Chain A
Amino acid sequence: MNALLDIQNLAVGYTKREPLFQHIHARLDAGTVVGLLGPNGIGKSTLLKTLAGILPPLEGDISASFTSPVRQPTQETHSNTSAFVPSQPPRAAHFSVWDTVSTGRYRYTNWLGIDDQEGKQQVGKALEQTGTLHLAQRDGSELSDGEFHRVAIARALVQNTPLLLLDEPTAFLDIANKRIVAQLLHTLARKEEKAILFSTHDLALAMEYCDLFWIMTPERTLHTGTPQQLQEDGTIDKLYQT
């Protein structure tokens, strides 16, 4: 299988002098759900933001199979490649759910941000897929955390990117909403051939829904493999040792 995203010797962080995590070698394939695990402060969000193009890589290569490989990808390149959902997506008061999701169509709309008929259908479809179509005219700031997370995922979907990056999408959610979001990600990977990378601290949920794990250990090494492999070789146990 061709890698959708190939990461070679990547270093992430805020200054070259003190990278948070380095020597990252990994690949992401279409149709797979990957769980990103690791202790707090290890650099999970920083890695996701780097892959999303919000932070520049300190070193190394990130190449996508459907675009020409770029050593220092620009924000424009990343917006074609990946859609990012932050852990607590900011909301705007008096801004409807429909308008919130429509902002994801930024690359496709005209200079005033007005979408064509096909784009509007895509917004409707994404709301339907995430089970939020009935909320379309509601004020985004009035939704529950679980509802708004699904809206944020719908917004990522209308970007039409092959890669979805999510920073702790199940944090702050109750058990029922955690399962709804995880099931949604799994369905998107299977039915739409999306590559999905999400960070989480919920091991049980990740074991159930992820095809692969990327584990960032306190020793600053990245272990990749199936949940079963990483459980058998003791990496998961080491991660959660107290």
Chain B
Amino acid sequence: MKRIWLLFLLLVLIAADVFLGSVRLPFADVWDALMGSNPEAFVYKIVWNFRIPKMLTALLAGMALSVCGVQMQTLFRNPLADPYVLGISSGAGLGVAFFVMGASVFPILSTHPWLSHLGTAAFAWMGALAVMLMVAAASKRLKSNMGLLILGIMIGSAGSALISLLQYLSDAPALKQYVLWTMGSFSNVTGRRLVIMAALCLAGLLISIRNIKDLNVFLMGQSYAESLGLSTSRIRNRVFLATTLLAGSVTAFCGPIGFIGIAVPHLCRMIFGNANHRVLLPASALMGACLMLVADILSQMPGSQSVLPVNTVAALLGIPVILYVILKNKAVAL
């Protein structure tokens, strides 16, 4: 029953995200645009070229980050693990920093025709992938998940240090471009970029569904899972692949969006009272999409001309949940 309510809430928020925005549009005009009448009208263009792609991006980002969060928290049996715990955000950030701010150090980035056309998303994705490949290679040698967690944090810190170095060496316009990317936005994902992001996220979600059975066993501990014949490296690699596709793509196209990935799984455990991944994973996907749509609606500040960074709004929504989880000890347990 709760899942049906959540689905209903999602539909309401999808509609709200399309009907509300920083440009105030009459309800009837938006409805006409949705029905396909008058394709040349200003409202039609806003709805189909801006609001619907932005809504779909928020939907995908919320689902992707929450589903990643569930898998990371189970894999590491750590309630404070999130999609970025293995340094994927730093990897993506380093890729973008390299593209945006590295031109002063490596001029080939701005002069080479192929490299200069790749764009921030491609560099972010390559950075995220490079980090995940490093972690996956190291995981072959590390049996303990705790060791892997520390390695991820170290890689993340190394990435942040290199970003700081590039920031120090870059000029003001490049620095501003990078800072804007870190604030997160759904507005730039339209057309072909949205299709690519949706395809990558769909692949990641399908792998995550395939992980459900193994994650339920992993929840009972690594030793128990191994005694059942489950290979730790196999499930790790499948979770890493799903995370790279999901969190890597979201970060590449929308920037690093924190707190949703860590908060949503806890929220779902509290509401549904069920940590079975057959319930938790789809519930987190729906809840993540809902929260991200709320963040997107609020970031547009409906009716006003200004737009807030979506990362900031997501953090303001996610932080109270994390604080509640920490203060209410029972919910911290996995």
A residues engaging B (CB < 8 A)? 49, 52-54, 75-76, 78-80, 82-84, 86, 89-96, 99-100, 103-104, 106-107, 109, 111-114, 139, 141, 159
Contact = CB atoms under 8 A, between A and B. Distances in A.
A141 B332 CA distance: 12
Given A94-B274, A112-B278, A113-B278, A75 B216 contact: no
A52 to B, nearest CB: 5
B278 A141 contact: no
Given A86-B221, A99-B216, A103-B216, A93 B334 contact: yes
A94 B269 contact: yes
25 contacts: A53-B227, A75-B231, A79-B227, A79-B228, A80-B229, A83-B227, A84-B227, A86-B223, A89-B220, A89-B224, A91-B220, A93-B334, A94-B269, A94-B272, A94-B274, A95-B274, A95-B276, A103-B216, A103-B224, A107-B228, A109-B213, A111-B210, A112-B213, A114-B278, A139-B273
A111 B269 contact: no
Given A89-B221, A95-B275, 18 more contacts: A53-B226, A75-B230, A75-B231, A76-B229, A84-B227, A89-B220, A91-B220, A93-B330, A93-B334, A94-B273, A94-B275, A95-B219, A99-B276, A103-B217, A106-B229, A106-B230, A111-B210, A113-B213
Contacts of B231: 75
B212 interface: yes
Given A93-B275, A94-B269, A159-B228, A106 B220 contact: no
B81 to A, nearest CB: 15
B333 interface: yes
B265 to A, nearest CB: 11
Which 5 A-B pairs have CB atoms at the shortest separation, nearest pair first?
A79-B229, A113-B213, A90-B221, A93-B333, A94-B275
B224 A84 contact: yes
Nearest to A109: B213
Contacts, number: 90
Given A94-B275, A113-B216, A49 B229 contact: no
Contacts of A139: 273
B275 A90 contact: no
B248 to A, nearest CB: 25
B23 to A, nearest CB: 43
Interface string B219-251: 111011011111100000000000000000000
Contacts of B334: 92-93
Interface string B267-281: 001001111101000
Contacts of B275: 92-95
Given A111-B213, A112-B213, A113-B213, A92 B220 contact: yes
A92 B210 CA distance: 21
A80 B228 CA distance: 8
B281 to A, nearest CB: 11
B230 A112 contact: no
Contacts of B226: 53-54, 75
B212 A113 contact: yes
Contacts of B217: 103, 106
Contacts of A94: 269, 272-275
A78 to B, nearest CB: 7
A93 B269 CA distance: 9
B145 to A, nearest CB: 12
A86 B224 contact: yes
B156 to A, nearest CB: 27
A111 B238 CA distance: 14
B94 to A, nearest CB: 35
Among B228, B330, B333, max chain A CB count under 10 A is at: B228
Nearest to B274: A94
Contacts of B77: 90
A139 B270 CA distance: 13
A106 B220 CA distance: 12
A225 to B, nearest CB: 28
A82 B226 CA distance: 12
B115 to A, nearest CB: 42
A103 B220 contact: yes
A106 B228 contact: yes
B222 to A, nearest CB: 9
B219 A92 contact: yes
A78 B276 CA distance: 26
Contacts of B274: 94-96
Among A76, A79, A99, max chain B CB count under 10 A is at: A99
Contacts of B209: 112
B269 A90 contact: no
A169 to B, nearest CB: 14
Contacts of B227: 52-54, 75, 78-79, 82-84
Contacts of A52: 227
A90 B224 contact: yes
Contacts of A82: 227
Contacts of B210: 111
B333 A141 contact: yes
